[in-house]
Amino acid sequence: MEVILKEDVQKLGHRGDVVKVADGYGRNYLLPGKLAIEATLANKAVIEQMKNSAVRKSAKEKIQSEALATELSAVELTFERKVGDNDHLFGSVTSGDIAQQLEEKGFTVDRRKISLEEPLKTIGEFHVPVKLHRDVTAHVKVTVQGDRPVAAPANA
């Protein structure tokens, strides 16, 4: 089955692309989810208009994403978690936690756009990538601290 993508679909293609997919995938996922339309002759005639509109929309989104990326690069988030012996963290910092704290600071970022391979489970400073657009990635500084005060050196 050939379909025209109306949105970017990961590992399949970008908006406006004509792609060949399995019948079931197209009928059961792409078409009902309004992610694609069937590639009929009439729809193929409309594809050029869609591509032009997609290019304009993508350029506008990229400009907005770049502006947001510069703002996000200055943001520093601090999380305090319970700590056991040897600075072992009880719990972790997840992409959901980061998204929630960003929202509290006035930035609306979907947690799925925060590229955290696995939750942060150690104390320290991390630079977490946030994919705002297919070409724009911002890095947010995240600091994970323990809930106990840091012991002062013995010979102070």
Cα 55 from Cα 62, distance rounded (Å)? 10
Superfamily of domain 2-70: Ribosomal protein L9, N-terminal domain (3.40.5.10)
Taking 90 as the threshold, does the pLDDT of residue 24 lie above it? Answer: yes
Q: What's the average model confidence in pLDDT over 66-95?
A: 84
More confident residue, 28 or 83: 28
| Single pTM value for the model | 0.62
**Rounded mean pLDDT of the chain?**
83
Is the domain 71-146 a CATH 3.10.430.100 member?
A: yes
Which residues of the chain form CATH 3.40.5.10? 2-70
Q: Are 115 and 103 in contact (CB under 8 A)?
A: no
* Amino acid letter, residue 10: Q
More confident residue, 100 or 90: 100
DSSP state of 116: -
Cα 85 from Cα 83, distance rounded (Å)? 7
Which residues of the chain form CATH 3.10.430.100? 71-146
Question: What pLDDT is attached to residue 43?
Answer: 81
- The predicted-structure confidence for 114-128, as pLDDT tens digits, reads as follows 888 888 888 889 888
